[in-house]
Amino acid sequence: MKIAIGSDHAAYEAKDRLKVFLASAGHQIVDVGTDSTESCDYPDYAAAVSRSVQSGAVDRGVLICGTGIGMSIAANRFSGVRAALCYTEELASLSRLHNDANVLCMGARTQSIDSMQSILKVWLNTDWEGDRHARRLGKIEMNSGGDNA
């Protein structure tokens, strides 16, 4: 699977560790930054990952900031992006099963690396159920205001 990953300065080290984890599982990684712990603005990296998902250049995206909240808010501004903030394996599974989440958001200040890895593994290995959920996702997409292309 081709996965875009991005973080702000608060999650830079976690992003680098998750890249190793993803690569060891055979995934192709597109790192959109940041490239240091120097203060930066998380919406820039949320946009880069979201545009990659939106265009189909990657299969899925992963965003990490201090809490995951800012990244999820920013990513969900993009039409076709369904970003889910997950802090348990159950939420990761449900975000895929019911919502076909294509961007996973996590918080480096609120989650351990081990937790993020286990959540990521579940999220990547869970397929969307479709069926009744397709109708609901269609309603969400119909009501999204902008495309932020």
pLDDT of residue 129: 84
Which residue is catalytic, options 9, 27, 40, 98?
98
Which residue is catalytic, options 9, 27, 65, 86?
65
Judged by DSSP in three states, 142 sits in helix
Q: Where are the domains of the chain?
A: 2-142
Both tokens assigned to 7: 């973080």
- Whose tokens are 């597109």? That residue is 30
pLDDT of residue 69: 98
Contacts of 108 (CB under 8 A, 6+ apart): 7, 10, 11, 13, 14, 64, 65, 66, 116
66 band by pLDDT with thresholds 50, 70 and 90: very high
Q: Which CATH superfamily is domain 2-142 in?
A: Sugar-phosphate isomerase, RpiB/LacA/LacB (3.40.1400.10)
pLDDT of residue 90: 98
Asked if pLDDT for residue 63 goes beyond 90, the answer is yes
- The pTM (predicted TM-score) of the whole model is 0.93
Cis peptide before 34 (omega within 30 of 0): yes
More confident residue, 62 or 148: 62
133 band by pLDDT with thresholds 50, 70 and 90: confident
Q: Examine the residue annotation and report whether 65 is marked as an active-site residue of this protein.
A: yes
Q: Examine the residue annotation and report whether 86 is marked as an active-site residue of this protein.
A: no
